[in-house]
Structure formats: structure tokens, C-alpha cells
Amino acid sequence: MASNMFFFLSAEVGNMKREGGIVQNADIQIDAQIVLPGQLITREVGYLRGHGTYELDGSLYASVSGIVERVNKLISVKPLKAKYPGEVGDVVVGRITQVLQKTWRIEVNGRQSASLQLSAINLPGGAQRRRTTADELNMRTIFVENDLISCEVQQVHSDGQLALHTRSAKYGKLTGGQLITVPSALMKRVKNHFYSFTFGVDVILGLNGNIWISQTIRDDTNYDLKDIRTETKAEITSISREKISRVRNCIQALASAFAPISPDTIMETYEESIDRGLSCSDILKPDNIYEVTQRARLRR
Amino acid sequence: MAARRVEERYRSNAPVTTVRPLHHSFLPGSQATNLAKRDRKRNEFRQFFMKTGIIGQASGSAYLEMANTKIICGIYGPRQIPKMEFSEKAKLQCDFKFATFAESRRERRKYTADKEEKEFSMLMVQALESSLILEKYPKSVIDCYVIVLENDGGALNGAITCASMALANAGIEMYDLVAAASIGLNPLNGEILLDPTEAEEIEYKKGGKKGGGVVTIGFMPGMNEITQIWQSGQIPQEKWLL
């Protein structure tokens, strides 16, 4: 449990180290302070102004509705509902909205749309790209409109536009699974956003709030040669389907309880739902949401 | 029938006059539609009901009810400006609309925006723009759609309050929420009334010896700042000093 806790807090600890302070006790707020825009957070001086706050006459006010988070001297407000801001290196799950000249336009629930350059993908079979017009015309053989893909943020432009890339075998088109969208503020930065649960379900935790759930595929294919267009051919058994639905409902329960979403919290919720003998659909009844997310909510 | 406008010929038109469900007459505040039967004090609001997040596909939404006045608002954005023009700030676009069936005491509203709706759209932008931190969203546009489902006075102030709630619900950064209210000046006795109904609004705007009209104010309670004042009718100077 203790190691899990550290794992969970690693993102915040990283921030503090950058400020040059020594982390002695990570300050976790268990009971949340909920604020509205324009509401006073503190009159005391000496606090650092974080996201979702603004300063006026030396006092700190909230600029979004959400939960106040304090990490030592830094105060920020985590919005209940906001667009995904984007950060370099984030794993995101997005949907292709347009096929343009040399780029795909991708919806990732950001302020501005994201783009995936033709030059920022690994071509099928690891082929080298010949910069020809024929190549551009073949773009639809790789990704077409409405395809779901997993990718990584390569660059964040000053106006908030995101440049994405799929230059790794683990990224690419997603098939044979289920998508669930949650508020992006709930997504926790963890070591591995491609997580394989022991009970045979894989999740891709996109930091933009899109989560892809599928069954674990054991493949021994050479990843260097793996085709990004690979479609899952394996049959999904009804047992797998139920597990996928259970994971989906657990994530939905976490989102409705405004609890952080990470492999740990999903696992806890999943186990709790089984311990309580709840069926898949029962997880989302209000009373049960409260029960199954009890442990996860403590991690807020 | 022949004189009907082109755009309306292609739509299914409900009857011009509507009959309210019976239970409405038992609701508090419904009697206030009649001028003579104001059932609350001069400085009293009608009863409020507010709810956020009622439109699933919008970025943010809100619903507001002040007795018979019912308003719904949806926020879409901040999203990319369709044309790739550059602007350092986000642009707030408001679209205020009365539903065709919104008015019980007058003719059906048209589907297209009339003069009043265009003016209210503009006034809403004025009232809300200064509450938002628009610099945070360069090259973006925030669309705000307001529909008045039923109008019984206070449509503009209700729309501003409702839109501000929806903007907060959308997670858009703002300095403060905007609350708006309207007051009416009775031309007959020079009395000032809070939150007039539609019947009162119409009566007051006609004016008389002692002036008469309606004033709507947008206010940020936390910052103690007024974002907008709008006056309709004639209000003598000394009344402003009250």
C-alpha cells in the first residue's frame, strides 16, 4: 500500500523537487474544498498561484469551479470539467476527424484540435517513407475518419494546438474494444499508461480522458514490423466481454465519484465490486458507486 | 395563410395559442402574471430553480427557472476558430433566442432572430465578456446559445445568470460569476419593484408622468463590480440616486 501511495503521488513529488524544496510530507487533502469562480481561497500571502486561480489585491481567488489542491505553498484548483490542456509526452486517445494534406486532424478534447503529421507515424511494416504525392494519396489506407488511435503528444504549440506522433509500435489504430470518456482532470500521470490487468483486460489510459479498454492479446509478433493498422482478429469471448464491461463501469463509477483514475484505483474498484458480489450493471447504482469507490476516493 | 413567411411554410407549426397544463395554476408565482395580483413584496424575487449540466453534448449547460420564466443555455467550446485567423483572446459569441412558443400573451415568435433578440445577444456578450479570462484561450471561440422556453419577464437577466452558470460548468476560467437582476419603475406611483413579470414590464415601459421603465444590471458579487447596465423606458435622474 505504501509503495502504491508513492507511485500515485509521483507526479506531484516531481513538481516539488523542481522548486528545490525537500519533500518531507506530501500534503494530501482528504476532505475536499470545493470552490466556485470568484470565490476567495486565501487571504494569506506567500502562496504560489497555480492553475485555475488568480490573484487580486494580494488575495487568491478561484477562476474555475472545482476542488482546491494544496501542495506545500502551491495552490491550484482542479476543475470539475475542463478541456485537456496537453503536455509533451502524454499518452492520448483520439479520433480522426479529417484527412488533410500530409496531416490528420484529430479530436482529443482539447481547446484546439490536434494534428498528426504523415511524417510523424511509423509506416506499415516499418517501411521508409518516400516523400511522394502517391504517398499522400495513400493516407486513407492508414487512418480514415472516425478511426480511434492511441498516440503521444510530441509538441504543444504556443496557441494550445497539439502535434502528435505514433512513432512506436505500441501506438496506432484501436480496434476490438471499448472507449469511455471521463473528465481529463481525473487522469493521473503514472509510469505506464498501457496497463495490462492480471484478469485479462488491457487499458490505455489517455491523459485527455479517453480510455480504451480491450482484452489482453498475447502476440509474439515482432514489434518492429507490426502494422499500425493491425485489426484485432481474435474472438472476444463472453467472459472477456463481461470483464471489459466491469472495468468500464468501474471507471464510470470512479468518474462519478470524482476519484482519480489510475491502474491502482481501477484495480481497487474492480476488486471491491467483486468482493461485494455486484453484477456489472449494479456497480453504477448510486449507493454502490459510493461503496466501491471508497478506497479510491481517499487518494484524492 | 398565403402571407406566411417562406421559412415557416417548411416547418410544422403548432397552434398560435397554447393552453397551459392545469397544474401550473397551483404553482407559487403563477398568479403574478396578472398585474393586480402581485403576490410578493416589492423587494422580493420570484422563486428560483437552477441546474447545471443538463445538456450532455455541450461543454457546459444550465437551466434556470424564475416562476414562469424558463431559460436553457448551452456552451460549446472553447474551440478552434473555423477560419485560421489569429487572435490573442478568445471570442465570446452569444445567441439569444426566444422559443416560438415562449410568449403566452403575444403573437408567436419568428424562427429568425428579431430586433430584440439581436439586441439581447449583444447585451449578453457585454455582460459576460468582462467576467471571463479570455486571454487564456488564444485563437478560440466560445459559443453560448440561450433559448427562452417561456417568457414571463426578466428574460435578459435570467439569460445572463444562466449563461454565467453554464460557462462555469464548462470549466472556462473566469474572474467571477455574473448575477443579473432587473427592477421596474412603476409609472403610476413612482414605486420601484424588484424582478418584474412580463405584464409589469410591458405596463412600466409604456411610461407616464413619473417616468416608468425597466433596468437590468449585471453584477459580479465577489469582485463587487458591475458588468453591465441596461435601461428601457424613461427613468428620471433622481430615481437613479436612490
CATH number at residue A16: 2.40.50.100
**Tell me: the pLDDT tens digits for A78-106?**
888 888 988 999 999 999 999 998 899 99
Q: Do B223 and A79 touch (CB under 8 A)?
A: no
| Pair A103, A15 in one domain | no
Give the residue from A62, A79, A96 where a domain finishes: A79
- Per-residue pLDDT of B43-73, as tens digits, reads 889 999 999 999 988 999 999 999 889 999 9
Residue B212 falls inside a structural domain: yes
DSSP state of A96: E
Compute the distance between CA of residue A184 and CA of residue B76 in angstroms, rounded to an integer: 17
| Same domain membership, residue A291 and residue A190 | yes
A103 and A54 together in one domain: no
Name residue A180's beta-bridge partners: A211
- As a whole-number percent, the residues of chain A with pLDDT over 90 amount to 43
Which whole number is the average pLDDT over B190-208?
87
Q: Do B138 and A160 touch (CB under 8 A)?
A: yes
Q: CATH number for the domain including A122?
A: 2.40.50.140
Q: Are residues A95 and A154 in the same domain?
A: yes
Neighboring chain A residues of B171 at a CB cutoff of 8 Å:
64-66, 79-83
Beta bridge partners of A153: A164
**A6, containing H or E segment:** helix A2-18
ipTM attached to this prediction:
0.77
Contact check, Cβ <8 Å, B60/A65: no
Contact yes or no for A111 and B79 at CB 8 A: yes
Q: What is the pLDDT of residues A227-248, one digit of tens each?
A: 555 555 667 888 999 999 999 9
State the residue range of the domain holding B233: 40-240
DSSP code per residue over A127-163: PPPP--HHHHHTHHHH--TT-EEEEEEEEE-TTS-EE
- Note whether residue B223 is domain-resident: yes
Q: What is the pLDDT of residues A250-270, one digit of tens each?
A: 999 999 888 899 999 999 999
The reply to whether B19 falls in a domain is no
Q: Do B80 and A113 touch (CB under 8 A)?
A: yes
CB–CB of A65 and B169 under 8 A? yes
Q: Is residue B147 part of a domain?
A: yes
**Is B228 a domain residue?**
yes
Q: How many CB atoms lie within 10 A of CB B169?
A: 24
Q: How many domains does chain B have?
A: 1
Residues A68 and A88 in one domain: no
For residue B139, give the CATH number of its domain: 3.30.230.70
Q: Which of A146, A174, A202 is the last residue of a domain?
A: A174
Same domain, yes or no: A231 and A245:
yes
Nearest alpha-carbon partner for A50 in A61, A40, A39 = A61
Domains identified in chain A, total number: 3
Nearest-angstrom CA–CA distance, B183 and B217? 9
Q: Given B80, B137, B222, which is nearest A38 (Cβ)?
A: B222
**Domain of A142, in residue numbers:** 83-174
pLDDT in tens, chain A (300 residues): 233 333 222 233 333 332 333 333 333 333 568 899 999 998 888 889 999 999 988 889 999 998 898 888 999 998 888 889 889 999 999 999 999 988 999 999 888 889 999 888 887 666 676 677 777 888 888 899 999 999 999 999 888 889 999 988 888 888 889 999 998 888 999 999 999 999 989 999 999 999 999 988 765 555 544 555 555 566 788 899 999 999 999 999 999 888 899 999 999 999 999 999 999 999 999 889 988 998 888 876
Optimal mutation site among B130, B172, B223, B227, interface A, most CBs of chain A within 10 A: B172
This model's pTM is above 0.90: no
What is the spatial distance between Cα A144 and Cα A125, in angstroms, rounded to a whole number? 18
* B141 in a structural domain: yes
The answer to whether A247 touches A203, Cβ cutoff 8 Å, is: yes
For residues A117 and A142, give the distance between their C-alpha atoms in angstroms, rounded to a whole number. Answer: 12
Chain B contacts of A43, Cβ < 8 Å?
Answer: none
Looking at CA atoms only, how far is residue A55 from chain B in angstroms?
A: 10
Measure the CA–CA gap between A64 and B172, rounded to whole angstroms: 6
- Interface test with chain A among B139, B141, B164, B165, by most A beta carbons within 10 Å: B139
Which of residues A79, A94, A119 is at a domain's end? A79
